[in-house]
Amino acid sequence: MKKLDAADKPWVITSVLVILISTAAFLPYAYGHQQPSGGSRLGLLFGIVGFAMLAFSTSLAIRKRFPRLLPAGFWVRGHLYAGATCLPLLLFHSYGSNGENRSFSLGGPLTSLLIILLLLVIICGVVGRRLQRRLPSYLLTSVPRDGGYERDCRALAKCHGEAREIILKATGEALKAFYQTHVERFLGAGEAGLLSTAETAEGAFVALDKKIDAPDRPISARLRCLVRESQELRRRTRLYRISYLVFKAHRLLSFLLLGIALLHGLVSLMFI
């Protein structure tokens, strides 16, 4: 299990304390003699603090406009921990009673949409964070057709170009046929065939080496290296595209969530 980073400890301690204090205040509020309600003093306090944390977590986008305001690590960790901590607070805010029944309630359509969006934002954030750990750091700062992503795309084209050059030196028909049937389709069009995985590609090249003559074996060995490199490049670019879409969705949903949360607060204040 990965050890907790020293920079994360203050955020973890703060988040745990906020949740423990909130839970300690929530239990007598939920099971006491008074009727719990999101419009009560404590219910409003849960909602206000939860909204403040939600607004702070969304403010990560502001950091791009003011890069010198605070270190990047502060914004990223604050985004993660404040976003996770606001969920129980907003659930406490939604707790209420309907006669003798007390439960967490989604309320009307606006409140239901708010909770659904919050869960979607958290899911996108968790998925994006896990993808982020699997990508090289330089890819995370790129956008499509820029930076590291573009370098990988150029590297794929370079592998294809080199393979097309060296196959011209081949003398045996077996190697040429293998190239046209498998290598060209994989390097050129990215077709998911025999060479799409490391295991099947290795088996295919081992079988090929038994069929070709000695002069063609260095060419086969180089093609094998190019295929391996292309497999890794395609895996990274595929992960990047997925990660990019997830983070785009996460950001869009976050701003939508913040806007609806603000609207929910304004509508609620009208009925207090």
Whether 167 has a pLDDT exceeding 90, the answer reads yes
Q: Tell me the sheet residues that pair with 103.
A: 96
pTM, to two decimals: 0.66
- Tokens matching residue 200: 């099947």
* 40-93 pLDDT per residue, tens: 888 888 888 888 888 888 777 666 666 677 777 777 788 888 888 888 888 888
Whether 199 has a pLDDT exceeding 80, the answer reads yes
Whether 135 has a pLDDT exceeding 70, the answer reads no
pLDDT of residue 205: 92
* 171-181 pLDDT per residue, tens: 889 999 999 99
Those residues whose C-beta lies under 8 Å from the C-beta of residue 164, and which sit 6 or more positions away, are 184
**What are the distances in angstroms from CA 265 to CA 30, 44, 84, 93?**
21, 9, 20, 12
> Does residue 234 contact residue 190 with C-beta atoms inside 8 Å?
yes
Of residues 135 and 53, more confidence is placed in 53
Of residues 227 and 109, more confidence is placed in 227
| Confidence band, pLDDT 50/70/90 cuts, at residue 98 | low
Those residues whose C-beta lies under 8 Å from the C-beta of residue 102, and which sit 6 or more positions away, are 30, 31, 36, 95, 96
- Average pLDDT over the chain, rounded to whole? 81
Closest CA to 115 of 40, 54, 59: 54
pLDDT above 70 as % of the chain: 84
Domain positions in the chain are 6-141+250-270, 147-243
Distance (Å, whole) CA 225 – CA 223: 5
| Residue type for position 12 | V
Whether 141 has a pLDDT exceeding 60, the answer reads no
- Tokens matching residue 195: 């060479």
- Tokens matching residue 257: 């969530």
Distance (Å, whole) CA 134 – CA 128: 10
Of residues 17 and 264, more confidence is placed in 17
Whether 146 has a pLDDT exceeding 70, the answer reads no
| Confidence band, pLDDT 50/70/90 cuts, at residue 2 | low
Distance (Å, whole) CA 249 – CA 121: 8
pLDDT of residue 63: 67
Those residues whose C-beta lies under 8 Å from the C-beta of residue 130, and which sit 6 or more positions away, are none
